[in-house]
Amino acid sequence: MKAFFVGLVFFAAETVAKREFTAFQLAVKKQRREIAKSISCNDVPVFNEEFDHGLDWHCKSMPRNHHMERGWCRPRCARRRETRTGPKKIWCDKKLGWISKFDSEPIQPDAIFCS
């Protein structure tokens, strides 16, 4: 009987810990969305409210004196089962705008979506 109650307490504690971690993940996701809203390359924003396409953007900005103007962004699908079209990472180039990391091809963030 003692083992049953110990197991029940352990299960309840684990469930509460999972909820707190999920709340932390939601806060991080919200913070990343705010950062993505502020990042633009040659006045082309990476995140557009009208054309969300089910993407979560993970962006990092870089200082102005670095070789990139504003930084890089990585699109990820909001649902894990969906597949993303387009490159894994996009970078900001002062002359070309948003470019793919691997082939330096100009790309529009609106063209990336999940299906």
pLDDT tens, position by position, 11-63: 555 655 555 657 787 788 778 777 777 788 888 888 877 777 778 888 877 66
Distance in angstroms (rounded) separating the CA atoms of residues 71 and 60: 6
Q: Tell me what pLDDT residue 17 has.
A: 52
pLDDT band at 67 (very low <50, low <70, confident <90, very high): very low
Residues 6+ positions from 55 with CB-CB distance below 8 Å: 75, 76, 77, 78, 84, 112, 113, 114
Q: Tell me what pLDDT residue 86 has.
A: 87
pLDDT band at 102 (very low <50, low <70, confident <90, very high): confident
Prediction pTM value: 0.63
Q: For the chain, give every domain's residue range.
A: 2-111
Q: Following DSSP, what letter does each residue of 5-66 receive, concatenated? A: HHHHHHHHHHHHHHHHHHHHHHHHHHHHHHHHHH-EETTEES--STT-TTEEEEEEE--TTS
